[in-house]
Amino acid sequence: MAFQLDSKVPEGPLKEKWTNHRFNMKLVNPANKRKFKVLVVGSGLAGASAAASLAELGYHVECFCFQDSPRRAHSIAAQGGINAAKNYPNDGDSVWRLFYDTVKGGDYRAREANVYRLAEVANNIIDQCVAQGVPFAREYGGMLDNRSFGGAQVSRTFYARGQTGQQLLLGAYQALERQIGKGTVRMHVRSEMLDVVKKDGRAVGIISRDLVTGEMKRFSGDAVLLCTGGYGNVFYLSTNAMGSNVTAAYRAYKRGAGFANPCYTQIHPTCIPVSSEHQSKLTLMSESLRNDGRVWVPKQKDDQRAPNDIPEDERDYYLERRYPSFGNLVPRDVASRAAKERCDAGYGVGATGYAVFLDFAAAIERVGEDVIRARYGNLFQMYEKITGENPYKVPMRIYPASHYTMGGLWVDYNLMTTVPGLFALGEANFSDHGANRLGASALMQGLSDGYFVAPYTVGSYLAEEVPLDGSGAVATDDPAFDQVEQEVQGRIDRLLSVGGKKSVESFHKRLGQIVWDQCGMGRSREGLEQALRDIPKLREEFWKEVFVPGSAGEFNPEVEKAGRVADFLEFAEVLCEDALAREESCGGHFREEHQTPEGEALRDDEHFAHAAVWEYKGDDVRPELSKEQLTFENVKLTTRSYK
Amino acid sequence: MSIGTTLKSSIGAKALMAVTGIILVLFVIGHMLGNLQVYLGADALNAYAAKLQSLGPLLWVIRLVLLGTFLAHIIAAIRVVKLNRAARPVAYHQQKDQATTFAARTMWVSGVLILLFAIYHVLHLTVGVVDPAGTYGALDSEGRHDVYGMVIAGFQHWPTTAIYTVAMVVLCLHVSHGASSMLQTLGLRRPGNASGFDKVGPALAIFLLIGNLSMPLSILAGLVG
Amino acid sequence: MKLTLHVWRQAGPQDRGRMEMLQVDGITSDMSFLEMLDKANEDLIHDGKEPVAFDHDCREGICGTCSMVIDGVAHGPQEGTTTCQLHMRAFKDGDSIHIEPFRSRAFPVIKDLVVDRGSFDRIIAAGGYVSVNTGSAQDANNLPVRKKDADMAMDAAACIGCGACVASCPNGSAMLFVAAKMGHLAHLPQGQAERKERALSMVAQMDAEGFGACSNHYECEAVCPKEIPATFIGSMNREFLKSSLCPDS
């Protein structure tokens, strides 16, 4: 049976929804909070902020991360900044404009009410982070500095050099460590959640594997929060950390949580291009570089001259040419596709022909090398370390790479999935970015969910659904736990017993190639159908020929990887199914069949203004599609134009 | 919170080393300046020695303070060395230093050698137990201890001069790291003064080395005495 | 290029461990150091042997997970660079490379090159934060911060908690790590209320974890991938001495 998707968006005018909802939600009285236990999986911006905030309120919290410390979650790698409509620069910003930009940037595929709430609490996030001691950049007068970012015409991005994600995560991490020190949060590091345990339809716990000893562990809780990030590593090469994976979200999907819009993947336009087949990951250069860098390719195909030898009139500044009003600051999806278009047409540069130039010569001439160094010094240094080239002298070479996934577990306004008691926060959910995320919005959403939304909505769930007398608690020796643990253990045993010859990594690479080719920046019916034939074959080969060395009862990174890749091999099919079903182009999803004569994305609001939610129906069975119709009462759907 | 908290901590142990180090360095400087009066002739040096002797009980107070400082410096050093050894139970197969100096790496060796030398030095010129020249206890024409004669005779004996030379090199090695280090340990080193402060130790060491070695070497060469 | 690796292998915390020699071929100069190890591991897996365990995650020099001593230097020969950012163009064909874990009593080896750095988390939990609950903050611009102070705080806050300072210190001291967090918060007005308690509790935890004492070798500063200066240790010493000697002033 298909999902009954109730978004639970509160009644009333947009501006009052969250305020009213907070008032209408049930509260747990302070003395009763300590009777509840909340499991928080993941310790990035969403996880750490939720765990810390819930513990501050008085709940018992257990927090899990697969890294060796909560401080290492991949939120740390976000460079550019975090948006908020503080309007400190007095350039006409407002909560409404941030809301509007985000809905428009997301190509009208996000839920209005969620986005408005996000824009509303963004200001509180900045206040909270400053109070924690996050060292945001300051002006000489001591006030916070702002910079502009893609997809917006105001300066609303707060930043801490090129390490904004790091500083925000450390703020949340320190708040979390403070609670750990107080004993209100029990932290489990090197601990990977491998399944959700349900009883009577409710999420009541998780099974995790202790990555040091290999031991299976059971944890019961009154609510489970998945703050486990995105699935960008389905492409193998991405800017995600090596350990980032879909397992937690995918396991939840297999236990009944709907997976929404998996085809909305973001390909970030400014990454360092692939250099060889041994490449294990791609490195992002912050989007903020586009504030001062100009993107171009030679006007002549296969131009082999050194970039500095190509005269000005033989350069094609294609973003400025195509989008005169936004120029180099068009949103990510537009910039990425434009780069792909030029390279596919044969104008690409570098050894592979899959790169474009990002040139700072004009900016250096305008403001001087010192100013550019102050703004982007660490990024330039990073570029030079990786490529061995000096970007102050030679234009950078960049190419788009998988970076963020807007799709994720479907959640209602309260961030609860289709499984009662199972919540999804941050990149792991689908809620706020629609089909494309604007720069400096990921940090905003992770922290909004963790600091300011979940602490209310989780409490409301507990107050309404979980009996205070403890009769709702499920002991870890309950048969529900026995069964799930057996299944998890059985799967690991199967992986170890295949005894083939091929490494896990080699399968991941091949999967990535299929998904990148057929479901990357450009997608077509033909390609997707091909992928849907290739992926099951590859999966079959995996289960026959993979070799996982060592045993399960020890520290064994290959076992961890094998489980994650096995899940990607299944999940990739859901991703391609969704891309195939969405017969339109919107945001990060570009169907080659649906474009304007100028090559711009062609949306079909009449048939596709919905969130596509996929339901697991069994292995090797096509998942079932349900739709949450998106209604736009406050913004008018227009064709995005950055011209 | 009290001085006990301070001393119990690793930073406190280092601070104790630094504070006692300052006292010892000041002593070494004062000691050298006093001794340099050897260049002014027998009368000046013997008068200076007699004046020190005439301090009576105060001299003993000074001696006890110095001894206590020295002991505290040693105890703090033993604690820190033990702490640091325990902190790395398994050694590296290969370790390449990037910034540290020979002096910093050998502080405890130079420290032990300085302790041995200090004992020898006291036995030689203060107590006279070691007296190869046989001049300890002689009086000058005014009935004062003939320190000048003792020093001249002592350093004309080349093995003694050799021992003092080696000891001064070791002492200065110790001071070259220690004197800069104490500024950092006591929290005085800041971004603005760091490079200057890092030169304090080596500069002081060279100053002490020249001053202290000039005496035995010029005596051995026959330029003084 | 072809390389000879001497890698530390240790089955678990109880194992004594030993150096093991591996040959790896087909390495190109544009590969990162970890991609070189990936290749060595692929070869081991292909031969049915157990790969070398090492910690890594973001591979872009910010998460602080990678942790190895390469040819006697934490994070290898390139200044201001984490292991994952080190590229093979720093080596040449035929080189022998020694790879060891970060060694410290407070970083026990879990397996091969993987160590447990939980001691760092416990030091932060002891006081490396500003005690502010969610929701109680005033408007961010109500608290002006001198740009110079904000920049200093950011210099210190750049620490990625990798532990190279401990690994490189002849004394196994963690003072650069602790000083960086203390320095970050001490330079901001938000950090003032708990400044003294923070200095005392973080140092007490650092000592309890079994780290050595700083004797000013400045090896930490030389290998720090974020180039955090050791002057922060000087400031920490001052903070601690002031806080412990004059807690009420």
Between β-strands A408-409 and A216-220, what pairing exists: parallel, antiparallel or unpaired?
unpaired
Nearest Cα of chain A lies from the Cα of C164 at a distance, in angstroms, of 15
Contacts of C81 in chain A (CB under 8 A): 385
Domain enclosing residue B67, as ranges: 7-87+104-220
Residues C122 and C99 in one domain: no
pLDDT of residue B141: 87
Q: Which two tokens stand for residue A329?
A: 């600051």
Question: Of the candidates C50, C85, C111, which is a domain's last residue?
Answer: C111
Chains A and B touch (3+ CB pairs under 8 A): no
pLDDT of residue B10: 96
Q: Please choose, from the candidates C212, C214, C183, the residue with its C-alpha nearest in 3D space to the C-alpha of residue C198.
A: C183
Give me the residues of chain C with pLDDT under 50, please: none
pLDDT of residue A220: 96
Nearest to B96 among C73, C172, C239 (CB): C73
- SS3 state at B8: helix
Total structural domains within chain B: 1
Q: What percent of chain A has pLDDT over 90?
A: 88
Contact A117/A453 with Cβ under 8 angstroms? yes
Residues B4-9 have a mean pLDDT of 90
pLDDT of residue C14: 94
- Beta strand ranges found along C101-214 (DSSP E): 109-111, 114-115
Residues C191 and C106 in one domain: no
Statement: residue B212 has pLDDT above 60: yes
Nearest to C31 among A137, A212, A278 (CB): A278
- Asked if B100 and C98 come within 8 Å (Cβ–Cβ), the reply is no
Nearest to B92 among C72, C217, C222 (CB): C72
Top CATH class of A267-402 equals alpha beta
- Asked if B84 and C245 come within 8 Å (Cβ–Cβ), the reply is no
Nearest Cα of chain B lies from the Cα of C242 at a distance, in angstroms, of 9
CATH code, domain with B212: 1.20.1300.10
Residues C105 and C136 in one domain: no
Domain enclosing residue C14, as ranges: 3-111
Residue-wise pLDDT for A101-133, tens only, equals 999 999 999 999 999 999 999 999 999 999 999
Residues C107 and C128 in one domain: no
Contact A336/A269 with Cβ under 8 angstroms? yes
Which of the following is catalytic: A109, A332, A342, A640?
A332
Chains C and B touch (3+ CB pairs under 8 A): yes
- Asked if C72 and B14 come within 8 Å (Cβ–Cβ), the reply is no
Q: Which two tokens stand for residue A349?
A: 């540069």
Residue B147 lies in a domain: yes
Q: Which two tokens stand for residue A550?
A: 């060592």
pLDDT of residue B1: 52
Architecture of domain A479-608 in this structure: Up-down Bundle (1.20)
Residue B1 lies in a domain: no
- Asked if C241 and B186 come within 8 Å (Cβ–Cβ), the reply is yes
- Asked if A160 and C160 come within 8 Å (Cβ–Cβ), the reply is no
pLDDT band at A364 (very low <50, low <70, confident <90, very high): very high
Residue B110 sits at the chain C interface (C-beta within 8 Å): no
Residue-wise pLDDT for A540-561, tens only, equals 999 999 999 999 999 999 999 9
Residues C240 and C129 in one domain: yes
pLDDT of residue A331: 84
Spatial separation of the C-alpha atoms in residues A154 and A91, rounded to whole Å: 6
Amino acid at site C17: G
Contacts of A243 in chain C (CB under 8 A): 57
Contact B77/B111 with Cβ under 8 angstroms? yes
Residues A209-229 have a mean pLDDT of 98
Amino acid at site B140: D
Residue-wise pLDDT for A251-294, tens only, equals 999 999 999 999 999 999 999 999 888 899 999 988 889 989 99
CATH code, domain with C65: 3.10.20.30
Total structural domains within chain C: 2
Q: Which two tokens stand for residue A469?
A: 């007398």
Using alpha carbons only, what angle is made at residue B80 by residues B79 and B84, rounded to the nearest 5 degrees? 120
Residue-wise pLDDT for B141-169, tens only, equals 888 999 999 999 999 999 999 999 999 99
Residue-wise pLDDT for A398-447, tens only, equals 999 999 999 999 999 999 999 999 999 999 999 999 999 998 999 999 99
CA distances from B31 to A580, B20, B46, B48 (A): 90, 16, 14, 11
- Residue of C39, C42, C60 to mutate when probing chain A, most A C-beta within 10 A: C60
Residues C148 and C199 in one domain: yes
Q: Please choose, from the candidates A449, A457, A456, A458, the residue with its C-alpha nearest in 3D space to the C-alpha of residue A125.
A: A449
Residues C106 and C138 in one domain: no
Nearest to C141 among A88, A239, A554 (CB): A88
Residues C149 and C103 in one domain: no
Q: Which residue of B has its CA nearest to C155?
A: B191
Q: Which residue of B has its CA nearest to C238?
A: B187
- Asked if C211 and B191 come within 8 Å (Cβ–Cβ), the reply is no
Residues C165 and C199 in one domain: yes
Contacts of B179 in chain C (CB under 8 A): none
Spatial separation of the C-alpha atoms in residues A356 and A297, rounded to whole Å: 6
Spatial separation of the C-alpha atoms in residues C96 and C91, rounded to whole Å: 9
Nearest Cα of chain A lies from the Cα of C219 at a distance, in angstroms, of 22
Statement: residue A22 has pLDDT above 80: yes
pTM (predicted TM-score): 0.96
Statement: residue A194 has pLDDT above 80: yes
pLDDT of residue A1: 61
pLDDT of residue A452: 98
CATH code, domain with C129: 1.10.1060.10
Statement: residue A379 has pLDDT above 70: yes
Residue-wise pLDDT for A233-244, tens only, equals 999 999 999 999
Residue B1 sits at the chain C interface (C-beta within 8 Å): yes
DSSP C50: P
Contacts of C61 in chain A (CB under 8 A): 382, 385
For residue A278, how many other CB atoms are within 10 A of its CB? 17
Contact A130/C140 with Cβ under 8 angstroms? yes
- Asked if A558 and C51 come within 8 Å (Cβ–Cβ), the reply is yes
Contacts of C72 in chain B (CB under 8 A): 92, 94-96
- Asked if B87 and C105 come within 8 Å (Cβ–Cβ), the reply is yes
Nearest Cα of chain B lies from the Cα of C43 at a distance, in angstroms, of 25
- Asked if B11 and C236 come within 8 Å (Cβ–Cβ), the reply is yes
Identical fold at A267-402 and A479-608?
no
Residue C15 sits at the chain A interface (C-beta within 8 Å): no
Q: Which of A146-160, A509-523, C199-213 has the lowest mean pLDDT?
A: A146-160
Nearest Cα of chain B lies from the Cα of C48 at a distance, in angstroms, of 28
Contact B96/C180 with Cβ under 8 angstroms? no
- Asked if A180 and C125 come within 8 Å (Cβ–Cβ), the reply is yes
Residue A377 CB contacts under 8 Å (≥ 6 apart), including other chains: none
pLDDT band at A161 (very low <50, low <70, confident <90, very high): confident
pLDDT of residue A525: 98
Residues C105 and C155 in one domain: no
Spatial separation of the C-alpha atoms in residues A397 and A358, rounded to whole Å: 6
Residue B94 lies in a domain: no
Region for A40 from its dihedrals, namely left if φ exceeds 0, alpha if ψ lies in -120 to 50, beta otherwise: beta
- Asked if B88 and C210 come within 8 Å (Cβ–Cβ), the reply is no
Residue A332 designated active-site: yes
Q: Which residue of C has its CA nearest to A165?
A: C62
ipTM confidence score: 0.98
Q: Which two tokens stand for residue A267?
A: 């390909």
Domains in chain A: boundaries: 267-402, 479-608
Q: What mean pLDDT is reported for chain B?
A: 94
In angstroms, the first-to-last Cα distance of chain A is 45
Contact C206/C200 with Cβ under 8 angstroms? no
